[in-house]
Amino acid sequence: MVAIPHTTEAFVVSAPGKAILFGEHAVVYGKTAVAGSLDMRAYALVTPRSDNHVRLVLPDIGVDELFDTQTLPRLTPNMLEHPGMVEQLMGHISVPSGPGRLAILTFAYLFGSLFVDNCGFTVSVRSLLPVGAGLGSSAAYNVALAAALLRLSGRLPAKNASDVINEWAFAGEQVAHGTPSGIDNSVSTRGGFLEYTKGSEARNLRTTNALRVLVTNTKVPRSTRELVAGVRNARDEHPTVVNLVLDAIHETAVSAVSLFENSSDGVEQRLQDLVRMNHGLLATLGVSHAALERIREITARHNMASKLTGAGGGGCALTLVPSDASNETVEQVQCELRDAGFECYSTVVGGTGVAFTECVAAEPVDKWIVRMSSHGQNPAVPADPFAAVVAAFVALPASAVAKLAP
């Protein structure tokens, strides 16, 4: 039986999103892709309760569920053929439909797998990642949740903690997506840049240089499945031509790996060149969109290279910001993109992976959250002495939430 640590203090776990820099679509056919952690993160606030209930609060998607831990299923190894089958064990517990359904099932799977004793706590998750935009919002949630529950259950080892977090986060991704590649949770757990080839383990690239980028959401919905099928159809119709394009995309990724690991003069300009080439090749495959091309036009006027990231067909574009670009120039580009109807975020790619935070500027996170929030004091809840902290966290401005990462 696993002893549950007596948790009396609040803490926060944060995990980054991800952006694919090179190799989209070609990676499906065994080619190389390069991805990096995106410093737009999911934040899980963990607070103790004094009863045997667990509460899951996901304000971004309207979830606030309270479970009696005695009714949640406990899972043993090999009980399920696949983590996605956890719903079969939920019994009389009603899981609501809607966007929070998979998030709740993931929580139930991880709790049932990691906890034996009854216990009480609240997990509240805020995300600064747009959902469904190809930026790894699901993986960031699963990594933050897995890390939080591993710590609470006493199963987070002192050594190789990231490997254990990644393993359980991948199981969470399986609940949500069935057969995920594992690249999203690997990037979110480890941070930095990863080289990935289908069927092989992802490899961290030997570089410590995060890149300043703009992430622009076209707000154009797209279906990854349909876009992947479209490339497959084109390959079936024109195998020689499309295979050459896929090989060329592979070479942009391989060249990028070399640049990341063998820094020399002119690396920044060559990365910009590879970004332009990779996008052009993807556009040849028919996975660009007028909105993505408009973003490229706007950023090109300021000597910045942009490309689609993810499946394309809308979604998001990634723009490399030159190191010598002034803040005024970056703000001007963001203004032009917003005037064109897009959502634009300034961030970095290749930064820190999953991280724990107990204090902000030496102040305990719960006290800091309440002080930074404009939310009024809630009446005391006997079973949940941290109810006011949870309410304050839910109401916290996004700019303050971002400060909860180390």
Residues that are catalytic: 138, 184
Ordered DSSP codes for 258-296: HHHHS--TTHHHHHHHHHHHHHHHHHHTT---HHHHHHH
Q: How far apart are CA 189 and CA 183, in angstroms?
A: 10
> What is the SS3 assignment for 379?
coil
What is d(CA 149, CA 216) in angstroms, rounded to the nearest whole number? 33
Collapsing DSSP states into helix, strand and coil, what is residue 104?
Answer: helix
- Count of residues in the chain: 406
Would you call 394 helix, strand, or coil by DSSP?
helix
For residue 356, the cross-strand partners are 13
Provide the pairing of β-strand 11-22 with 203-204: unpaired
Both tokens of residue 303? 């000597």
Cβ neighbours of residue 351 closer than 8 Å, sequence gap 6 or more: 16, 37, 39, 191, 192, 210
* Full DSSP string of 136-154: -HHHHHHHHHHHHHHHHHT
On the CB side of 294, CA atoms within 13 Å amount to: 17
How far from chain centre, in Å, is Cα 346?
16
Rounded Cα–Cα distance for residues 320 and 347 (Å): 10
DSSP 3-state assignment of 401?
helix
Return the closest-CA partner of residue 63 out of 119, 122, 115.
122
Are 296 and 279 in contact, with CB atoms under 8 Å apart?
yes
Distance, CA of 133 to chain centre: 11
**Can you tell me whether residue 311 is helix, strand or coil?**
coil
- CA dist 147 to 114, 212, 226, 278, Å? 11, 27, 33, 35
For 51, counting Cβ atoms within 10 Å of its Cβ (0-12 exposed, 13-18 middle, 19+ buried), the class is middle
Beta-bridged to residue 384, according to DSSP, are: 381
